[in-house]
Structures are given as structure tokens and as C-alpha cells.
Amino acid sequence: MEKATFAAGCFWGVEEAFRKAEGVTFTQVGYIGGTKNNPTYEEVCTDTTGHAEAVEVTFDPEVTSFEKLLDLFWEIHDPTQVNRQGPDVGNQYRSEVFYRNVEQKEIAEKLVSILEQTGLMVATKITPASDFWKAEDYHQDYYSTKGGTPYCHTRVDRFPM
């Protein structure tokens, strides 16, 4: 199994999209990219910890690839927005790929280049993964346990065939 970590707005909707993706064996939401150890949701929402709401995805590389997961990542949110997605505004809602090795970094950079060739002004950051802090239990598998529909993560085909 391999892991990937993505931030693309409210982690509830991001997790829901990845949870359903082929080859994904486990997802969990949490916080990454900031300066505070083991932050709470309330602390992250103050916009002072530097953390992003993110999803850590565990996947089977025999079934899917990091590149396919990145395709999904860029198609479920607007990668041109800075520190927001839809109605959610703040640094914790930024678009960011937290890579775990050089291969993940290179694949992310390649796909950014493809998106930019289509005219998108990609604001997504590509950053080395740091400590991932699991969010509170009530945030995990939010839509599958609470019901409802993600409000700002609608899939848009961004990659030319």
C-alpha cells in the first residue's frame, strides 16, 4: 500500500470523493502543513496554525496510481482559487499536494504543466509532506455517516484526452 495526502477545501467532500475511488483502501481526514502539533479543528479554523484541512489516502498501486488520484484531485475542486473553495474561505481551505517522494513530486508537477497548457492558472502548492494530524472522530467519513452531499466538490473533466 502507498499513501498520498491532498488538501482541496473542506476535507469532508474531498474524503468522500477519494473514499469512492477505485484502488483506495482507506481514507482519513486531518491537518497538515502547519506549525502546531496535534491541532484541533477549532485551532485550525482560527487561520493561525498554518494547517490545511487534508485527506490522507491509502491506495493499492496494483489497482490505481498516484497519477490517477491526482487526476481526481484536480477534477473535484477549483485549483485556481487561493485559500478558498466555494463558500469556504481561509488558509485551511487551500489547494495543496503533499508529496512523499520525488516520484510523487514529479508527477504532480507534470500534471500542473498539463493543466496550465489548457489555460488554467493553477494555484495549487506542491509541498513535501510533514506530520499529518488525524482530525477528530466526528469529521471522519462525514458524508457516509451523517448523510448529505458535498457542497463544493463537483467533478469537472480538466484533462484533455
pLDDT tens for the chain, 161 residues: list them. 999 999 999 999 999 999 999 999 999 999 999 999 999 999 999 999 999 999 999 999 999 999 999 999 999 999 999 999 988 999 999 999 999 999 999 999 999 999 999 999 999 999 999 999 999 999 999 888 887 777 778 788 887 65
- CA–CA separation, 59 vs 68, rounded Å? 11
Name the DSSP class of 155: -
Q: Which residues are known catalytic residues?
A: 10
What is the pTM for the complete model shown? Answer: 0.94
69 CB-side CA count, 13 A: 34
- CA–CA separation, 48 vs 109, rounded Å? 28
Name the DSSP class of 136: P
CATH for the stretch 2-146 = 3.30.1060.10
C-alpha cell at 65: 496510481
- CA–CA separation, 79 vs 7, rounded Å? 10
